[in-house]
Structure 1
Amino acid sequence: MSFQIFHQKWYEKHLKLRKGKAKERLQHGHAHAEILFLQNVWYPAFRSFDHLHPEYEVSDFRDGTRFLDFAYIKYPLKLNIEIDGYGPHFSQASRTQFSDERIRQNHLVIDGWRILRFSYDDVTERPRMCEQIVQQFMSTWLDQHYTQRPSEAIIQQEVLRLALRSPQPIRPSDVSNYLNIHIETARRILRNLTQQNKLIPNGSGTLRVHSYVVNKANVDERVIL
């Protein structure tokens, strides 16, 4: 299958999952530089877009939202990949914008994200070097961390983090997609958190719970976030 067909199917899949601002951002933000990175670097390196999300929405440190060029999420790894162009927008950035970008990156690191940044010039002129960097990172990080099964407590904390930052009640499918785990495993984790009184079933249904919200009376947001 050619890159163009592979990419189009992946893009359309994510487009169907987005709504509102997130969908609009994907339509306009996933542009030439990002597609070139996939074509020149990511696809040659892995021949797969599994666990890779374009224009991924995250909570902003100022209580808003921002979008990452790419997010690779395969629990426990959360990798942000940014493609930086050297153009008028970059060269004319104010001191405030310059500082804001650094603080934004610091908060991503505090929130558990790993970050790789590539210049547009390197993606265009030195794609093999970029490919090797991504492959080296994946090999080194996953060998050190992913082979170790995360504890139940760590997984539960990540689910609570997701629930606290979600603008709507979370569903088992949200947890399954976020942690890349089976839907039944996600349901079990949500039930366990409910039994601990850290999550509360949303709605009035009694036979089957479809979504959950955080019991803020029993969860310290400062510790989770």
Structure 2
Amino acid sequence: MNEFEIAHEAFLTKHISMRGGERLKRLKEGHGHAEKLFLEQIWWNAFGHFQDLHPEYEIKDFRDGTRFLDFAFLRHSLRLAIEIDGFGPHFANISRSQFSDQLIRQNHLILYGWKIFRYLMMT
């Protein structure tokens, strides 16, 4: 295993050990190929560590429900929401109301002080 693989495995193990219920399920099901590819090709090359990065981060939404960010980077006063968007599941295969909901969700994150970074997977 290379340095990234070792760090990635430790990163997931740490977050899995701290979770239960829906948060654990979302992490196990939601952290897939695209998320790992982002971490390896973008995040690891930029930072070389996973400190202050939280996968499948749970937030309350504007309707008092629960939503999950693909990643949240929380450091000092910075709250960065990182979303990994594949064309198919996020844009091509959604209804108008789902599309509208995603835009409203993003607007509310911005209003609540989040910065948003979208990584578009075109595969």
TM-score scaled to structure 2, two decimals?
A: 0.94
Residue of structure 2 equivalent to 1:163: none
Counterparts of 1:102 and 1:77 in 2: how far apart (Å)?
Answer: 21
CA offset digits 1:171-207 (Å, max 9, x no partner): xxxxxxxxxxxxxxxxxxxxxxxxxxxxxxxxxxxxx
Q: Which residue is equivalent to 2:9? A: 8
In structure 1, the gaps of 5 or more residues are: 125-225
Q: Which runs of 5+ in 2 are unaligned?
A: none
The match for 2:79 is: 78
Structure 2 CA distance, aligned partners of 1:43 and 1:115? 18
Tell me which amino acid in the other structure corresponds to 1:96: S
Distance in 2 (CA, whole Å) between partners of 1:92 and 1:4 is 32
Higher helix residue share: 1
* Residue number in structure 1 paired with 2:60: 59
| Count of matched residue pairs | 122
Other-structure match for 1:68 = 69
Structure 2 Cα separation of the partners of residues 65 and 75 of structure 1: 24
Deviations 1:29-70 (A, max 9, x none): 011100000011100111010000000000011111000001
2-structure distance, mates of 1:100, 1:66: 12
After the TM superposition, which parts of structure 1 deviate over 6 Å for at least 4 consecutive aligned residues?
A: none
> Larger % of strand: which?
2
Deviates more, 1:5-14 or 1:80-89: 80-89
Higher relative contact order (CA closer than 8 Å, sequence separation 6+): 2
**Structure 1 residues 18-167: aligned runs within 5 Å:** 18-87=19-88, 90-121=91-122
The one-letter amino acid of 1:17's match is M
The one-character-per-residue Cα deviations of 1:2-43 (angstroms, maximum 9, x if unpaired) are 211110001100111111000000000011100000011100
| SS of corresponding position for 1:87 | helix
- CA RMSD in angstroms comes to 1.3
The letter for the 1-side match of 2:64 is: D
Q: Which residue of structure 2 aligns with residue 132 of structure 1?
A: none
TM-score by length of 1: 0.52
Task: Give the secondary-structure state (helix, strand or coil) at the position aligned to 1:56.
Answer: strand
Offset at residue 75 of structure 1 (A):
1.8
Counterpart-to-counterpart distance in 2, 1:99 and 1:46: 33
